[in-house]
Amino acid sequence: MTIALAVSFAVSTCTGLLLLWLAWPRTAAWSWPLATSLGAGLGSGLSAVLLFLWMLAFGPTRGFPLAEGGLLVLVALAAARRRGARHTGAPVTPSHAPASRRLVVVVIAFLVTLGAAGAAFVSYLRRYPHGEWDAWMNWDLRARMFFRGGEAWQTAFSPALPWSHPDYPVLLPSLVTRTWLYAGGETLVGPALVAGTFTFATVALMAAGLSALRFTSQGLLAALVLLSTPFFILHGTSLYADVPLGFFFLATIVCLALQERSGGATYRFAVLAGIAAGLAMWTKNEGLLFTLALVAGLLIAGLSGSGWAISRRQLLAFAAGLVPMLVLAAGFKMALAPPNDLLSTLNLERTFTRLTDPHRYYLVLRAYGGHIAAFGSNGLGSATAVLTAYLLGLGVNRSELGRSWVRAVTIALVLLLAGHFMVFVSMADELSRLLKSSLDRLLLQIWPSALFLYFMVVRAHEEVRSGQPVTGRAEVGHGVRV
C-alpha cells in the first residue's frame, strides 16, 4: 500500500513536471526546484480533474491508475522527443552574489525548521489521522461517497446533507479518492499524503520562486517564515482545503511574476497562471472570488500602466488557461451541485438590513484588524509584527515595487479581502461565530501569496550589502530570463 501511494504521488508529480517541461518557454531558463514544486501541485490538480472526468465516464474504477500511468508515458515520450529542441536543463542564471555568512545561517535555520516542522506534521497526523471537523464532515466524507458509492458516486452531491456543503468543488475529495484507487482500498495515509504534498509544495514553491526571481536568501527566508507560521503547519494537518487553495493562489502569482520577467516574448506563464487560478476554483468556492479579483487587478494595473497592449495579451493568455477550468466548474455547478447554502438562503430584505447596519461593519473591521495583527503568533510575536519590523530594517526595492504584476496582485489581494468583508457583512447569520471560525482560514489562504509578494519587494540582504537597489538575479543581463 505504501508503494502504491508513493506511485500515486510520483505519477502526478512527474506528469506535472513533464508538462511544465513541455510548456516552459524556450527563452526562459529552466529551474528544477521551481518546476518540481510547481509540478507537484499542478500535477495533483490535473490528476483531480482527470479523475473527475473519469468518474463521469466510468465511475470510480480501478482502471484510473492505469489510464493515468498511460498518460504519463505519453507525456514522457513527448518530452523526450522535444528535449533537443528545448532548453537543455540549464540552471537558472547563476547567483551574482557570493554566499555570505548570513546566507549560511539562513540555510541552516531553514533546514532545521523544515525538519522540525515535518516531524511535527507527521506526529500530529498520527494523533489525528482523520483531521478536524470539516475534513470528516465534508472533504473526506465526500471522498468516501465517491470511493464506496461505485456507480452511485454522485450521491455525494445529495442535497439531503446540506451541512456537508455538497456544492463545494471536488479537487480535494477527488485526490483522496485517487490515492485509494491506487492503494486498492481506503487508508488514512491517503488524505495525509495529499495534505503533505500541498503543505510542503507550498513551502518549496515559495523558496524556489523567490530564489529564481530574487535571491536564494530571500526565498529561504520567506519559506522559513511560512514554516514558522504555526497555523500554516497545524492547519495543513487538519486535512481542510485551505492549504491546497493557498498553493494554487501562490502558483498563480508566481506564474504572473515569471510572466512579467519574460517580457512580451512569450505568454506561456500567463497561461499557466490561468490554469492555476482555474484549479483554485476547482478547490474551493473562494477560488472564484480570487480569480475575479485577480482579473480586476490585472485590468486595473494594465490600464494604469504604460503597456496596455502587453497587458491585454497577458490577460488573453491568462483567460486561455482559465477557460477550460471555468467550463468544468460551471458545468459542475449547473449539472451536479445543489445550490450554495449561503446563496440559496439569501433574502433581499434581510441582506439589505445587514448592509445598512453600521455595527456589522464595525464588528468585521475590528475582527480583520485583530486577526491580521495577530496572524502567525507563536508566543514571541505575530508574523505580521516581525515582518513589519523586518521591512523597517531592510527597506523596499523600488524597482520591484513598481512592477505591473506587483500592482495587479496587490489590488487583487485587497479586493479579495474586501470581497470576504462584504460576504461577512451581508450574509453571515451568526457573525461573531463565523468570524471566529473562518477569518483565520481566509487569511491563511492568502498568506503564502502575501509572503511571496512581500519578499519580492522587500530589499534583500545582498542588495543592502552592495548598497545598490539591484533588481535580483533574474534581470542581470537577461531581460527575458527567469
Partner 1 sequence: MTRSGVALLLILLYAGVSTARWVRRAAAWPAGSAQDEITAYESRFRLLRSALPARGVVGYLGHPEPTGPTPEDSNAAALLHFRRYLLAQYSLAPVLLIESTDHELIVGNFDPESLPPVPRGFRLVRDFGDGVLLFRRAPS
Which residue ranges make up the site for partner 1 (CB under 8 A)?
A: 102, 105-106, 109, 112-113, 116-117, 119-120, 122-124, 126-130, 133, 136-137, 140-141, 144-145, 148-150, 152-153, 155-156, 158, 160-161, 163-164, 188, 221, 224-225, 227-230, 233, 378-381, 383, 386, 389-390, 392-394, 461, 464-465
Of the pair 161, 292, the CB lying nearest partner 1 is at 161
Q: What element of type H or E holds 198?
A: helix 189-213
Of the pair 226, 408, the CB lying nearest partner 1 is at 226
Between the alpha carbon of residue 464 and those of residues 98, 395, 461, the distances in Å are 14, 9, 5
- As measured in angstroms, the least distance from the Cβ of 140 to partner 1 is 7
Rounded Cα gap, residues 174 and 180, in angstroms = 10
- As measured in angstroms, the least distance from the Cβ of 378 to partner 1 is 5
Of the pair 144, 360, the CB lying nearest partner 1 is at 144
- As measured in angstroms, the least distance from the Cβ of 207 to partner 1 is 14
Structure-block grid coordinates of residue 126: 498520527
Which residues, 6 or more positions from 115, have their beta carbon under 8 angstroms from its beta carbon?
none
Structure-block grid coordinates of residue 118: 515535518
Between the alpha carbon of residue 367 and those of residues 150, 372, 394, 410, 446, the distances in Å are 44, 8, 29, 21, 17
Structure-block grid coordinates of residue 161: 446533507
Of the pair 163, 347, the CB lying nearest partner 1 is at 163
Nearest CA among 289, 278, 296, 292 for reference residue 342: 289
Of the pair 155, 471, the CB lying nearest partner 1 is at 155
- As measured in angstroms, the least distance from the Cβ of 119 to partner 1 is 4
- As measured in angstroms, the least distance from the Cβ of 231 to partner 1 is 11
Rounded Cα gap, residues 17 and 398, in angstroms = 34
Q: Please check whether residue 286 is in contact with residue 246, taking contact to mean a CB–CB distance below 8 angstroms.
A: no
Rounded Cα gap, residues 339 and 333, in angstroms = 8
Of the pair 161, 423, the CB lying nearest partner 1 is at 161
- As measured in angstroms, the least distance from the Cβ of 148 to partner 1 is 5
Amino acid code (one letter) for 470: V
Q: Please check whether residue 277 is in contact with residue 294, taking contact to mean a CB–CB distance below 8 angstroms.
A: yes
Of the pair 78, 120, the CB lying nearest partner 1 is at 120
- As measured in angstroms, the least distance from the Cβ of 79 to partner 1 is 38
Query: 244: exposed, middle or buried (C-beta count within 10 Å: 0-12, 13-18, 19+)?
Result: buried
- As measured in angstroms, the least distance from the Cβ of 401 to partner 1 is 18
Residue with cell 500592482: 407
Structure-block grid coordinates of residue 156: 455525494
Of the pair 328, 394, the CB lying nearest partner 1 is at 394
Between the alpha carbon of residue 351 and those of residues 345, 423, 436, the distances in Å are 10, 10, 21
- As measured in angstroms, the least distance from the Cβ of 332 to partner 1 is 19
Of the pair 45, 191, the CB lying nearest partner 1 is at 191
